[in-house]
Amino acid sequence: DAGVIQSPRHEVTEMGQEVTLRCKPISGHNSLFWYRQTMMRGLELLIYFNNNVPIDDSGMPEDRFSAKMPNASFSTLKIQPSEPRDSAVYFCASSQNTEAFFGQGTRLTVV
């Protein structure tokens, strides 16, 4: 398996624009996570899906953030409208009940 695949690797956008981050989890994994990493706050869990159903989205910072998982092999994290404080590295991870495996991340810069 190629591991967790995220796209794009880098995204630079202007404040107010919509940003969509994409993730393909490892085949057969039943859980998918979106994390955000910054120097100040470290790794924060944004949302957690189990069997494609959102289980906990308490980490989603605002209504500007939304996540979907239409099927077992694809998930998106959308920010609309984006703000400079959203600049961070966003990671997607998947697991099969035990350890989580992370993608390479998307570095988002909002200017």
Partner 1 sequence: EDQVTQSPEALRLQEGESSSLNCSYTVSGLRGLFWYRQDPGKGPEFLFTLYSAGEEKEKERLKATLTKKESFLHITAPKPEDSATYLCAVQIAGNMLTFGGGTRLMVKP
Q: Which one of the spans 13-21, 63-71, 78-86, 87-95 is the region binding partner 1 (CB under 8 A)?
A: 87-95
How many residues are present in the chain? 111
Min. distance of Cβ 5 from partner 1 in angstroms?
A: 11
Residue 52 to residue 75: CA distance in whole angstroms: 9
Among 19, 65, 75, 103, binds partner 1 (CB under 8 A): 103
Min. distance of Cβ 83 from partner 1 in angstroms?
A: 24
What dihedral do alpha carbons 37, 39, 42, 47 form, nearest 10°?
-30
